[in-house]
């Protein structure tokens, strides 16, 4: 087989069902091999490995990320050398920051030309090495098969992440034997995995955990994206429900706990619900699971969960333990198995915590400090739009977003009954993520309702992918909340920079999004600008059989609240005009130069 054929066969052996990418000279042999593989193995016109072509390689990377997040499998990108590879830098970094497993296969100039500044050459290993979990350059064609398998192994094991595979054109054209087995020798990495895999919560450690839980009156689980990545959502729910421990989740952890459960406190953090943040302030035992105490959650680590007598931490990555917040007890290993051991131990020993008062307190917090907004305004409030959408979808749709105010409103006002329904760029905060991620998710879950909740700024970033939706006749619902500017940046500028809207109120108002969607083939494309039309139009939009686009003209002054300013604690959280504030916190002073956006 040729190197390209070997590469494609390994993809098939790894169970790859969809590939995203854009062609070019240095990757042509592999594209041809994908074409021939589909022709030889397809039946009735169906392709076993469809190759989805985006408008831009960045779009391909985010499609693979959306596929991986929604399906829980490794996403695959195949692009050409030079600009094809460099256009993938942002999605690779995004996947690294959010622990998402993808494999990016880049064509490269022939081996003998590497380092000569050949046409469309880029130093992929140097560029990607700084942002990927691992980068592999294949210079020995005999190692190609093992290298591709190893790339998948590294991407999905341990703490998941992106792996980049750089394959010179002559390696793709080389011919040799296909062995059907073999991986590279990576003893150090596998040794670390073996240590993690060998960990187990024995009787003594389970007893320690429940001893601390028994001494608690206000325990709280703080769950992050690691719960979803570790396929531990069911086990975490079982622990929470069996022993009555409420749960707050990070932005990346939404869906690991059914947000409609009485024990769910929804999202905590900078734009988390007020009641979730107050629950963190009140808890006396904090149990962190697959979360890393990042700056969006624990802006002032010393004041985060300051009443907690003990902090417990579960993670698969030992580097996260004590990195930000000192813990009193920790476990490094596979989360699902650990939680299953705890549930079994607690059930076997008949553990029963007395948390009735705490349950009453959290119910009161949820009632008193519920999300709210200006319901009397004649203008269309984005909160109302998403609240209405949520009533129609009942927490069962896949929702992807760009980054900004619309992202936070969607996180606040949407329910998620299950994991892998919420797709957003968390740590990197990459505008333009929403639309391509929705495309990837729809390929991963063709029977699911997929909605991209976007902003006018984020939509412009990868606008070309509207045509990708209609080219593949995907029934994605694209909703743009248009406030004619970068809303989140403007909100910060109003709060911290005396209202100077530098570069955020761009007045880029020539764009007719509806005409753009129509030009790209959307059979349903409408604008919504009247409050009284919201329920009717949303029902029509979400129920449309096929690709649908809706532009909603929202109140340009609408803000995201609650909000915890940079470098501040939950005691300083501002809740706006429509949510009560327990501490009577006022708008924060101007931040100094050391504080983060």
**Which whole-number Å values give the CA distances from 132 to 19, 105, 165, in the listed order?**
19, 13, 11
Per-residue pLDDT, 504: 75
Per-residue pLDDT, 590: 60
CATH class of segment(s) 3-195: alpha beta
Is the peptide bond prior to 463 cis by the omega test (within 30 degrees of 0)? no
Per-residue pLDDT tens for 466-481? 999 999 999 999 999 9
Taking the C-alpha atoms of residue 401 and residue 381, their distance in angstroms, rounded to an integer, is 18
Strand partners, 164: 104, 135
- Name the H helices within 14-143: 28-41, 57-71, 83-86, 89-97, 124-129
Domains 3-195 and 199-365 agree in fold: yes
Per-residue pLDDT, 496: 76
Per-residue pLDDT, 594: 46
Per-residue pLDDT, 273: 98
Which residue ranges make up each domain of the chain?
3-195, 199-365, 382-553
Per-residue pLDDT, 589: 60
Per-residue pLDDT, 595: 57
Q: Tell me yes or no: is domain 199-365 CATH 3.40.50.1220.
A: yes
Structure tokens at 222: 């703080």
Adjacency order of strands within the sheet including 450-455: 422-423, 398-401, 450-455, 477-482, 548-553, 524-528
> Would you identify the CATH topology of the domain 382-553?
Rossmann fold (3.40.50)
Active-site residue numbers? 57, 119-120, 169, 488
Per-residue pLDDT, 597: 58
Per-residue pLDDT, 596: 54
Query: Splitting the chain (597 residues) into consecutive groups of 10 residues, what average pLDDT does each group show?
Result: 98 97 97 97 91 98 98 98 98 98 98 95 96 97 98 97 98 97 96 94 96 97 97 98 98 98 97 98 98 94 96 96 96 97 97 94 97 97 98 98 96 98 96 98 98 95 97 98 85 78 72 96 98 98 98 95 91 95 76 53
């Amino acid at each position: 087989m040729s190197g390209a054929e070997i590469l494609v066969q390994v993809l098939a052996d790894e169970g790859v069902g969809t590939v995203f990418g854009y062609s070019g000279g240095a990757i042509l042999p592999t594209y041809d091999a994908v074409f021939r593989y589909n022709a030889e193995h397809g039946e009735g016109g169906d392709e076993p490995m469809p190759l989805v072509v985006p408008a831009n390689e960045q779009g391909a990377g985010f499609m693979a990320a959306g596929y991986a997040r929604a399906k829980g499998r490794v996403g695959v990108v195949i692009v050409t050398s030079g600009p094809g590879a460099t256009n993938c830098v942002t999605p690779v970094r995004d996947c690294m920051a959010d622990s998402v497993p993808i494999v990016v296969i880049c064509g490269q100039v022939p081996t003998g030309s590497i380092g000569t500044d050949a046409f469309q050459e880029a130093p992929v290993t140097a560029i990607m090495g700084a942002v990927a979990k691992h980068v592999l350059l294949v210079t020995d064609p005999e190692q190609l098969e093992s290298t591709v398998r190893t790339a998948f192994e590294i991407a999905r094991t341990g703490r998941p992440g992106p792996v980049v595979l750089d394959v010179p054109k002559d390696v793709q054209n080389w011919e040799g034997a296909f062995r059907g087995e073999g991986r590279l020798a990576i003893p150090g990495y596998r040794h670390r995995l073996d240590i993690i895999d060998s960990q187990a919560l024995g009787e003594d450690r389970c007893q320690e955990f429940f001893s601390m839980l028994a001494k608690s009156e206000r325990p709280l689980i703080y769950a992050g994206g690691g719960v979803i990545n570790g396929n531990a959502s069911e086990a975490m729910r079982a622990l929470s429900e069996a022993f009555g421990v409420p749960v707050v989740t990070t932005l990346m952890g939404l869906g690991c706990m059914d947000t409609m459960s009485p024990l769910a406190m929804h999202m905590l953090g900078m734009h988390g619900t007020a009641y979730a943040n107050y629950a963190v302030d009140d808890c006396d035992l904090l149990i962190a699971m697959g979360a890393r105490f990042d700056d969006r959650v624990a802006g002032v680590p010393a004041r985060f969960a300051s009443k907690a007598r003990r902090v417990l931490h579960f993670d698969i990555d030992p580097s996260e333990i004590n990195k930000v917040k000192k813990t009193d007890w920790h476990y490094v290993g596979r989360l699902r198995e650990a939680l299953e051991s705890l549930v079994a131990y607690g059930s076997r020993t008949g553990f029963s915590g007395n948390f009735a008062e705490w349950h009453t307190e959290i119910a009161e917090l949820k009632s008193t400090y519920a999300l709210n907004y200006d319901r009397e305004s004649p203008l269309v409030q984005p909160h109302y739009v998403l609240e209405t959408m949520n009533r129609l979808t009942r927490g069962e749709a896949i929702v992807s977003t760009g980054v900004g105010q619309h992202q936070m409103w969607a996180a606040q006002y949407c329910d998620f009954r299950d994991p892998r329904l919420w797709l957003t760029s968390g740590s990197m905060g990459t505008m333009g993520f929403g639309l391509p991620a929705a495309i990837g998710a729809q390929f991963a879950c063709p029977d699911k309702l997929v909605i991209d909740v976007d902003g006018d700024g984020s939509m412009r970033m990868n606008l070309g992918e509207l045509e990708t939706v209609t080219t593949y006749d995907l029934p994605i619902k694209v909703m743009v909340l248009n406030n004619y500017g970068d809303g989140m940046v403007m909100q910060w500028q109003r709060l911290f920079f005396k209202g100077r809207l530098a570069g955020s109120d761009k007045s880029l108002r020539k764009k007719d999004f509806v005409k753009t969607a129509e030009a790209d083939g959307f059979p349903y494309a409408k604008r919504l600008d009247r409050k009284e039309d919201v329920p009717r139009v949303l029902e029509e939009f979400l129920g449309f059989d096929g690709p649908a686009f809706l532009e909603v003209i929202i109140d340009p002054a609408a803000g995201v609240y609650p909000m915890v300013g940079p470098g501040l604690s939950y005691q300083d959280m501002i809740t706006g005009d429509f949510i009560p504030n327990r501490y009577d916190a006022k708008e924060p002073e101007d931040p100094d130069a050391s504080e983060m956006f």
